[in-house]
Structure 1
Amino acid sequence: MNLALWITSGLLAVVALLGGTTKTFVPKAKLAAAHGGGWTASVDPGLIKALGVLELLAAPGLILPVALHIVPALSRVTAVCWIVLMIGAMATHGRRRELPLVGVNLVYLAVAGFIAWNR
Protein backbone atom coordinates (compact mmCIF):
# COMPACT_ATOMS: atom_id res chain seq x y z
CA MET A 1 0.00 0.00 0.00
CA ASN A 2 2.83 2.41 0.82
CA LEU A 3 4.37 1.88 -2.62
CA ALA A 4 1.01 2.55 -4.29
CA LEU A 5 0.68 5.79 -2.30
CA TRP A 6 4.14 6.94 -3.35
CA ILE A 7 3.49 6.11 -7.01
CA THR A 8 0.10 7.82 -7.12
CA SER A 9 1.40 10.82 -5.18
CA GLY A 10 4.33 11.13 -7.58
CA LEU A 11 2.16 10.86 -10.67
CA LEU A 12 -0.35 13.39 -9.37
CA ALA A 13 2.51 15.72 -8.42
CA VAL A 14 3.80 15.53 -12.01
CA VAL A 15 0.30 16.33 -13.32
CA ALA A 16 0.09 19.29 -10.93
CA LEU A 17 3.54 20.52 -11.91
CA LEU A 18 2.84 20.33 -15.64
CA GLY A 19 -0.61 21.88 -15.39
CA GLY A 20 0.59 24.59 -13.02
CA THR A 21 3.56 25.47 -15.19
CA THR A 22 1.33 25.74 -18.24
CA LYS A 23 -1.28 27.92 -16.55
CA THR A 24 1.31 30.12 -14.91
CA PHE A 25 3.70 30.74 -17.79
CA VAL A 26 1.87 30.16 -21.10
CA PRO A 27 0.05 33.24 -22.48
CA LYS A 28 -3.74 33.21 -22.28
CA ALA A 29 -4.21 33.33 -26.06
CA LYS A 30 -2.07 30.24 -26.53
CA LEU A 31 -3.88 28.42 -23.71
CA ALA A 32 -7.28 29.27 -25.23
CA ALA A 33 -6.19 27.83 -28.59
CA ALA A 34 -4.96 24.54 -27.08
CA HIS A 35 -7.13 21.44 -26.75
CA GLY A 36 -8.95 21.61 -23.43
CA GLY A 37 -7.94 25.22 -22.86
CA GLY A 38 -10.98 26.89 -24.39
CA TRP A 39 -12.30 27.75 -20.94
CA THR A 40 -9.47 30.24 -20.51
CA ALA A 41 -10.86 32.51 -23.25
CA SER A 42 -13.61 33.79 -20.95
CA VAL A 43 -11.59 33.88 -17.71
CA ASP A 44 -9.48 36.68 -16.27
CA PRO A 45 -5.75 36.01 -16.79
CA GLY A 46 -5.16 36.58 -13.06
CA LEU A 47 -7.47 33.69 -12.19
CA ILE A 48 -5.69 31.42 -14.65
CA LYS A 49 -2.32 32.28 -13.13
CA ALA A 50 -3.72 31.86 -9.59
CA LEU A 51 -4.93 28.37 -10.49
CA GLY A 52 -1.51 27.64 -11.96
CA VAL A 53 0.25 28.73 -8.78
CA LEU A 54 -2.09 26.57 -6.69
CA GLU A 55 -1.21 23.60 -8.87
CA LEU A 56 2.50 24.40 -8.57
CA LEU A 57 2.12 24.44 -4.79
CA ALA A 58 0.22 21.14 -4.86
CA ALA A 59 3.13 19.29 -6.48
CA PRO A 60 5.52 19.55 -3.51
CA GLY A 61 2.59 19.48 -1.09
CA LEU A 62 1.75 15.95 -2.14
CA ILE A 63 5.30 14.67 -1.66
CA LEU A 64 7.46 16.70 0.71
CA PRO A 65 5.51 16.56 3.98
CA VAL A 66 5.60 12.76 4.00
CA ALA A 67 9.10 12.47 2.54
CA LEU A 68 10.58 14.88 5.09
CA HIS A 69 8.39 13.71 8.00
CA ILE A 70 7.38 17.31 8.66
CA VAL A 71 3.64 17.53 9.34
CA PRO A 72 2.82 14.62 7.02
CA ALA A 73 -0.90 15.41 7.36
CA LEU A 74 -0.29 18.28 4.94
CA SER A 75 -0.12 15.73 2.11
CA ARG A 76 -3.67 14.70 2.97
CA VAL A 77 -4.76 18.34 3.10
CA THR A 78 -3.16 18.94 -0.30
CA ALA A 79 -4.98 15.92 -1.75
CA VAL A 80 -8.30 17.21 -0.40
CA CYS A 81 -7.59 20.64 -1.90
CA TRP A 82 -6.84 18.91 -5.22
CA ILE A 83 -10.24 17.20 -4.99
CA VAL A 84 -11.91 20.61 -4.61
CA LEU A 85 -9.92 21.92 -7.57
CA MET A 86 -11.00 18.95 -9.70
CA ILE A 87 -14.66 19.47 -8.77
CA GLY A 88 -14.33 23.01 -10.11
CA ALA A 89 -12.57 21.76 -13.24
CA MET A 90 -15.30 19.15 -13.81
CA ALA A 91 -18.00 21.80 -13.44
CA THR A 92 -16.22 24.09 -15.89
CA HIS A 93 -15.67 21.40 -18.50
CA GLY A 94 -19.17 20.03 -17.93
CA ARG A 95 -20.75 23.41 -18.68
CA ARG A 96 -18.74 23.49 -21.90
CA ARG A 97 -19.85 19.93 -22.76
CA GLU A 98 -16.23 18.70 -22.78
CA LEU A 99 -17.07 15.27 -21.41
CA PRO A 100 -13.71 13.60 -22.11
CA LEU A 101 -12.02 16.28 -20.01
CA VAL A 102 -14.57 15.76 -17.25
CA GLY A 103 -13.50 12.11 -17.29
CA VAL A 104 -9.82 13.03 -17.02
CA ASN A 105 -10.59 15.32 -14.07
CA LEU A 106 -12.61 12.52 -12.47
CA VAL A 107 -9.58 10.23 -12.67
CA TYR A 108 -7.39 12.90 -11.04
CA LEU A 109 -10.06 13.36 -8.37
CA ALA A 110 -10.12 9.60 -7.69
CA VAL A 111 -6.33 9.48 -7.38
CA ALA A 112 -6.39 12.40 -4.96
CA GLY A 113 -9.17 10.69 -3.02
CA PHE A 114 -7.05 7.54 -2.76
CA ILE A 115 -4.15 9.61 -1.42
CA ALA A 116 -6.31 11.59 1.01
CA TRP A 117 -8.00 8.48 2.36
CA ASN A 118 -4.85 6.41 2.84
CA ARG A 119 -2.25 8.97 3.97
Structure 2
Amino acid sequence: MSIAVWIVSGLLALAYLAAGGMKLVRSKAELRPTMAWVEGFSPAAIKVIAALEVLGGIGLILPPLTGVAPWLAVVAAFGLVAVQIGAIAVHIRYRDPAAKLVPNFVLLLLALFVAVGLLL
Protein backbone atom coordinates (compact mmCIF):
# COMPACT_ATOMS: atom_id res chain seq x y z
CA MET A 1 0.00 0.00 0.00
CA SER A 2 1.44 3.37 -0.98
CA ILE A 3 2.13 6.14 1.49
CA ALA A 4 -0.58 8.33 -0.04
CA VAL A 5 -3.18 5.58 0.35
CA TRP A 6 -2.11 5.02 3.97
CA ILE A 7 -2.36 8.74 4.76
CA VAL A 8 -5.78 9.14 3.14
CA SER A 9 -6.98 5.91 4.75
CA GLY A 10 -5.89 7.16 8.16
CA LEU A 11 -7.58 10.51 7.73
CA LEU A 12 -10.78 8.89 6.46
CA ALA A 13 -10.73 6.42 9.33
CA LEU A 14 -10.45 9.27 11.84
CA ALA A 15 -13.26 11.20 10.17
CA TYR A 16 -15.62 8.21 10.04
CA LEU A 17 -14.78 7.03 13.55
CA ALA A 18 -15.51 10.51 14.88
CA ALA A 19 -18.70 11.05 12.88
CA GLY A 20 -20.03 7.53 13.40
CA GLY A 21 -19.04 7.48 17.04
CA MET A 22 -20.85 10.74 17.66
CA LYS A 23 -24.01 9.37 16.05
CA LEU A 24 -23.73 6.18 18.11
CA VAL A 25 -23.50 7.91 21.50
CA ARG A 26 -25.91 10.80 20.93
CA SER A 27 -29.67 10.56 20.75
CA LYS A 28 -31.70 11.71 17.77
CA ALA A 29 -32.77 14.79 19.74
CA GLU A 30 -29.15 15.68 20.46
CA LEU A 31 -28.18 15.28 16.80
CA ARG A 32 -31.13 17.28 15.43
CA PRO A 33 -29.70 20.83 15.95
CA THR A 34 -26.64 20.13 13.80
CA MET A 35 -28.00 17.39 11.52
CA ALA A 36 -31.45 18.26 10.24
CA TRP A 37 -31.54 15.10 8.12
CA VAL A 38 -32.04 12.92 11.21
CA GLU A 39 -35.66 14.08 11.32
CA GLY A 40 -36.46 11.80 8.39
CA PHE A 41 -34.87 8.71 9.94
CA SER A 42 -35.74 6.44 12.83
CA PRO A 43 -33.30 6.23 15.74
CA ALA A 44 -32.48 2.67 14.67
CA ALA A 45 -31.63 3.79 11.12
CA ILE A 46 -29.36 6.51 12.49
CA LYS A 47 -27.55 3.94 14.64
CA VAL A 48 -27.15 1.63 11.62
CA ILE A 49 -25.62 4.46 9.60
CA ALA A 50 -23.34 5.26 12.53
CA ALA A 51 -22.28 1.63 12.88
CA LEU A 52 -21.51 1.43 9.15
CA GLU A 53 -19.33 4.52 9.43
CA VAL A 54 -17.44 3.15 12.45
CA LEU A 55 -16.98 -0.28 10.87
CA GLY A 56 -15.84 1.35 7.62
CA GLY A 57 -13.28 3.46 9.48
CA ILE A 58 -11.95 0.42 11.33
CA GLY A 59 -11.98 -1.62 8.11
CA LEU A 60 -9.79 0.88 6.29
CA ILE A 61 -6.93 0.49 8.78
CA LEU A 62 -7.09 -2.72 10.78
CA PRO A 63 -6.94 -5.39 8.02
CA PRO A 64 -3.95 -3.91 6.17
CA LEU A 65 -2.20 -3.11 9.44
CA THR A 66 -2.53 -6.66 10.77
CA GLY A 67 -2.23 -8.40 7.41
CA VAL A 68 -5.34 -10.42 8.23
CA ALA A 69 -7.82 -10.37 5.32
CA PRO A 70 -6.48 -7.12 3.79
CA TRP A 71 -9.15 -7.38 1.08
CA LEU A 72 -11.60 -6.17 3.75
CA ALA A 73 -10.07 -2.69 3.42
CA VAL A 74 -11.24 -2.57 -0.20
CA VAL A 75 -14.72 -3.65 0.89
CA ALA A 76 -14.69 -0.99 3.62
CA ALA A 77 -13.61 1.72 1.17
CA PHE A 78 -16.34 0.82 -1.33
CA GLY A 79 -18.82 0.62 1.54
CA LEU A 80 -17.92 4.16 2.55
CA VAL A 81 -18.38 5.26 -1.06
CA ALA A 82 -21.91 3.83 -0.83
CA VAL A 83 -22.50 5.65 2.48
CA GLN A 84 -21.49 8.92 0.85
CA ILE A 85 -23.71 8.33 -2.17
CA GLY A 86 -26.58 7.84 0.28
CA ALA A 87 -25.61 10.98 2.19
CA ILE A 88 -25.53 13.03 -1.00
CA ALA A 89 -28.95 11.69 -1.98
CA VAL A 90 -30.36 12.67 1.42
CA HIS A 91 -28.91 16.18 1.20
CA ILE A 92 -30.34 16.58 -2.29
CA ARG A 93 -33.73 15.28 -1.12
CA TYR A 94 -33.74 17.87 1.69
CA ARG A 95 -32.69 20.54 -0.83
CA ASP A 96 -29.68 21.48 1.25
CA PRO A 97 -27.40 24.17 -0.16
CA ALA A 98 -24.44 23.08 -2.25
CA ALA A 99 -22.09 23.94 0.60
CA LYS A 100 -23.50 20.98 2.57
CA LEU A 101 -22.85 18.65 -0.37
CA VAL A 102 -19.19 19.53 -0.83
CA PRO A 103 -17.88 17.61 2.22
CA ASN A 104 -19.81 14.53 1.10
CA PHE A 105 -18.36 14.73 -2.41
CA VAL A 106 -14.85 15.14 -0.98
CA LEU A 107 -15.29 12.12 1.31
CA LEU A 108 -16.71 10.12 -1.60
CA LEU A 109 -13.72 10.95 -3.80
CA LEU A 110 -11.25 10.17 -1.02
CA ALA A 111 -12.91 6.82 -0.30
CA LEU A 112 -12.87 6.05 -4.02
CA PHE A 113 -9.17 6.99 -4.15
CA VAL A 114 -8.44 4.55 -1.32
CA ALA A 115 -10.53 1.77 -2.87
CA VAL A 116 -8.80 2.08 -6.24
CA GLY A 117 -5.40 2.58 -4.59
CA LEU A 118 -5.84 -0.65 -2.65
CA LEU A 119 -6.76 -2.54 -5.79
CA LEU A 120 -3.66 -1.43 -7.69
Q: TM-score, normalised by structure 1?
A: 0.94
Give the deviation of 1:101 after TM superposition: 2.0
Q: Is 1:14 equivalent to 2:18 in the alignment?
A: no
Give the deviation of 1:22 after TM superposition: 1.2
Matched to 1:51, the amino acid is: I
Give the deviation of 1:42 after TM superposition: 2.1
Match of 1:110 in 2: 109
Q: Is 1:61 equivalent to 2:59 in the alignment?
A: yes
Q: 1: CA distance between counterparts of 2:4 and 2:59?
A: 17
Moved over 4 A (4+): none
Matched to 1:39, the amino acid is: W
25-34 vs 5-14, greater mean Cα deviation: 25-34
84-93 vs 65-74, greater mean Cα deviation: 65-74
User: Please, what is the CA RMSD of the aligned residues?
Assistant: 1.1
SS in 2 for 1:114: helix
Give the deviation of 1:112 after TM superposition: 0.5
Q: Any unmatched runs of 5+ in structure 1?
A: none
Q: Between the two proteins, what is the percent identity of the paired residues?
A: 38
- State the number of aligned residues: 117
Q: TM-score, normalised by structure 2?
A: 0.93
Give the deviation of 1:13 after TM superposition: 0.2
User: In the TM superposition, what whole-angstrom CA distance separates every residue of 1:10-50 from its partner, at most 9, and x where no partner exists?
Assistant: 0000111011111111111121111xx00101210000011
Give the deviation of 1:100 after TM superposition: 1.6
Q: Any unmatched runs of 5+ in structure 2?
A: none
Match of 1:23 in 2: 23
Matched to 1:114, the amino acid is: F
Q: 2: CA distance between counterparts of 1:33 and 1:60?
A: 27
Q: 2: CA distance between counterparts of 1:52 and 1:117?
A: 24
